[in-house]
Structure formats: structure tokens, C-alpha cells
Amino acid sequence: MTFLFVSLSYTAECAIVTAFITFIPKFIESQFGIPASNASIYTGVIIVPSAGVGIVLGGYIIKKLKLGARESAKLAMICSGVSLLCFSTLFIVGCEKLKIITISKPKSPNDLPLANMASGKSIPKKNLTGGCNVNCGCKIHEYAPVCGSDGITYFNPCLAGCSNVGNDSTGVSDHTDSTG
């Protein structure tokens, strides 16, 4: 019976950890405003060595203190509790939320919230793929944030009023003639 509960416990923990690890990079990306590739690298650099050190250290402690099954289970619970407390600090720290036009700060009554854009409805009174926006290469539903000179982040260059896109001397995209 003990083996059954240990197996079920381990399976539940693995399911939670696997689901959690999948979304850590996205959480770090949105919370701290860093690119997805960097968030994934930071996650891997932290999680993989930590898991290795935890396994080796746990084995060493159990062997050194000559812990039995009951004491080992208590040690595992204590370590899981400490880990949970350390992880929960991620929810406390972070950067200020971005002010994004059409999501949290509409520039005009014609701007729709992100929920309407995600549902596939078209944006009224805005032709984002024609006229002055044709050279920007934007798609209406594409999230490609652009920081305007007014300090506001736009959902994509078209919503910022871009009329042309090029590269500056460092190879970074330069969206010109934007209203922001």
C-alpha cells in the first residue's frame, strides 16, 4: 500500500511540475518584459542544474543521516514546502505592466480590446492592411509590440500608425511615420 501512495504522489508531483515548467518561460516573459528566447534560456539554466543539485544533495543527506522511509518522506515534504515558498516570491516581484493601446489604454473609442481581436472580429473604421499601412507588413491579429515615442506600447506597428518599415544601422526594425 505504501508503494501505491508513493507512486501516486510522485505521479501527481511530476504532472504538476511538467505543467508548471511548460509555462515558466511565458510567465517570465510577460512578468519581466524579456524576449521569449531569453526567458526559455533563463528557465533552463536555473531548472536543470537545480534539479541535479537537488537530487545529489537529497541522496547525500539521506545517506549521511541514515534516514528511513518515514524520515525521508518528511524531508521531501519539508523540501517541497521550502520550494513552494521560494517559488511564490515570483508572484510578488515583477515589472510595471505595459500600457498597450487596444488592450489596457484605448487611444480612441474605435479601438477594440484584445478579446475582440482574438475572437476574429474585424476592427471597425480602421483599414490596417491598406493605404498608409501597406508597407509595414502587419497582420491584424499578429502581436508584434512596438514602443512609441510617447512611452506607450502598441499591439503592432499598424496600430501605431506605421507607414513604412526598414532597418537601422544595427539591423533593428525601424517603423517610421508612426503616430506614437
Ramachandran angles phi, psi of 54, nearest 5° = -65, -40
Cell numbers given for 73: 518522506
The residue-averaged pLDDT of 34-54 equals 89
Per-residue pLDDT at 149: 67
Q: Where are the domains of the chain?
A: 2-91, 96-180
Q: What is the pLDDT of residue 83?
A: 78
Per-residue model confidence (pLDDT) at position 162: 64
DSSP state of 152: P
Element (H, E) at 173: strand 173-176
DSSP annotation of 136: G
What is the spatial distance between Cα 84 and Cα 94, in angstroms, rounded to a whole number?
Answer: 18
Over the stretch 50-109, which tens digit does the pLDDT of each residue have? 889 989 998 999 999 998 888 888 888 788 778 778 777 777 776 666 565 654 445 555
The greatest distance separating any two alpha carbons of the chain, rounded to the nearest whole angstrom, comes to 75
User: Which range has the top average pLDDT, 13-27, 44-58, 140-154, 164-178?
Assistant: 44-58
The CA distances from residue 114 to 63, 96, 111, 132, in Å, are 55, 19, 9, 23
Which pTM does this prediction carry? 0.49
Top pLDDT among 42 and 159 is at 42
CA 60 to chain centre: 35
- Cα–Cα nearest to 73, from 3, 124, 171, 172: 3
